Amino acid sequence: MVWLLLLAALALVALGWCSSHHWQGWFHRWRVGRYYATTHLRTHQLRRDHKPSTRTSTTPPYRVGHIVRCDYRDSASAPPARSGSLRIVSWNIEFGCSYKLAEVVTELRRLDADVVLLQEVDWCHAPDDAPTPFTHDAFHEIASALGLAGIWAPHYAYQGEGHRGAWGNAILTRFAIEHEHDRFVPLRHLFDYDRVHLEVCCGISVRVRQFERVVRHLQSYELGDEDRVVIGGDLNTFGHGLLRLSPFHCNDAYRFRSLFYEEAQWWEERVLPALLKGRGTALARLADPFEKSAQHTLAGGPMGVFAGKLDWLFLDPAALPVLRTAVGTGTQSDHAWISVDVSIPLKL
């Protein structure tokens, strides 16, 4: 009986933490936000040589449905290419909170990635007549500090007392951007192509359907065997442990069907083989090279009761052989970054 009471107390503390720190924000977005972005980007033949282009962007205030562009590269100061390799980083930066933005920039500079996939990239502004005027533009601040080109797709707009803002996902790169594609779907089908950010206040089955739409969208491009695809981002795969008791995070039959699995393990063993089978070589061989039960990207909650692998990088290890993987500490954000070094031909 004592153990049952202790377990019940722990569950109440953990779910209370989740309610105050996570549920309310996401549930608010579920009710208020209408549309989310799907963005596709291709780098120009993975070449570093380029002519510096004009730095352009949509004029603030940024709106849902716009693609914001920037190019802060300088060919004279661009770092030399790694011989035959490419580094890709994906990171949910927790809205690019201004008080941690300098730490995020410092960490990204240290990682020295060729392609950076960012989730929860924030812009907010309070006018001069506001009690506390300010402007916070994480996308441009990060891109300019690192000297990269990029695109940002705001997919949620908000307005508070005396300020307004937007947040979305971004791709930053050393390379010339050949093509970007922006597409919107209702919130219930939330995803972000190339920087996937699946919903958290739902069940496993909803996230599976969302990711299936990403795969079908990629399949519509009729990719050839030589095409290289990378999908990275926050899949919010933490529907396990005590969260199985949550009516918001686990509200379908998979809360019990996936019993004894972490959600990331369930995806690797049950979901991905079924979703990718028969989709063509470029998609059928996609895999995430990280250990699902050991390399967690979210510590989450008291004593780590919500810990899990939420962040993923999918690639074809046959076309892009993996040289090295790494996972960050998570001190600059609530998520840890993930990084993959892959081998590439010198000329693609």
HSE-CB of 72 using CA atoms within 13 angstroms: 15
Number of helical H runs and strand E runs in the chain: 9, 13
Convert the pLDDT of each residue in 173-218 to its tens digit.
Answer: 998 887 666 544 433 333 233 545 555 555 677 788 888 888 888 8
> What is the sign of the dihedral through the CA atoms of 60, 176, 83 and 171?
positive
Task: Please indicate whether residue 73 or residue 223 has the higher confidence score (pLDDT).
Answer: 73
Task: Classify residue 94 as exposed, middle or buried by CB count within 10 Å of its CB (0-12, 13-18, 19+).
Answer: middle
Q: What is the pLDDT of residue 226?
A: 77
- pLDDT at position 37 over 60: no
74 contact partners, CB below 8 Å, separation of at least 6 = 52, 147
- pLDDT at position 139 over 90: yes
Q: What are phi and psi of 216, to 5 degrees?
A: -65, -35
Q: Could you give the CA distance from residue 202 to residue 239 in angstroms, rounded to a whole number?
A: 9
Q: Could you give the CA distance from residue 171 to residue 256 in angstroms, rounded to a whole number?
A: 36
8 contact partners, CB below 8 Å, separation of at least 6 = none
Mean pLDDT of 220-237: 84
Q: Are 93 and 167 in contact (CB under 8 A)?
A: no
- What domain range is 250 assigned to? 65-343
- pLDDT at position 45 over 90: no
26 assigned to some structural domain: no
Q: Are 116 and 92 in contact (CB under 8 A)?
A: no
- pLDDT at position 236 over 90: no
117 assigned to some structural domain: yes
224 assigned to some structural domain: yes
State the average pLDDT for the chain. Answer: 73
Output the six-digit token pair for 307: 């810990």
Cis peptide before 186 (omega within 30 of 0): no
Q: Could you give the CA distance from residue 270 to residue 285 in angstroms, rounded to a whole number?
A: 15
- pLDDT at position 258 over 70: no
11 assigned to some structural domain: no
Report the Cα 251 to chain-centroid distance in Å: 23
Q: Could you give the CA distance from residue 183 to residue 39 in angstroms, rounded to a whole number?
A: 6
Kindly give the residue spans of alpha helices, DSSP state H, lying in 220-332: 254-257, 263-266, 272-276, 281-284
Mean pLDDT of 297-310: 73
- pLDDT at position 22 over 70: no
250 assigned to some structural domain: yes
- Total structural domains in the chain? 1
Q: How confident is the model at residue 38 (pLDDT cuts 50, 70, 90)?
A: very low
pTM of whole model > 0.85? no
Sheet holding 195-197, edge to edge: 195-197, 231-234, 311-314
Q: Could you give the CA distance from residue 169 to residue 40 in angstroms, rounded to a whole number?
A: 11
44 assigned to some structural domain: no
- pLDDT at position 53 over 80: no
Q: What is the pLDDT of residue 336?
A: 94
Q: How confident is the model at residue 141 (pLDDT cuts 50, 70, 90)?
A: very high
Convert the pLDDT of each residue in 80-125 to its tens digit.
Answer: 556 789 999 999 998 776 668 999 999 999 999 999 999 999 888 8
47 assigned to some structural domain: no
300 assigned to some structural domain: yes
Q: Residue 325's domain is classified under what CATH number?
A: 3.60.10.10
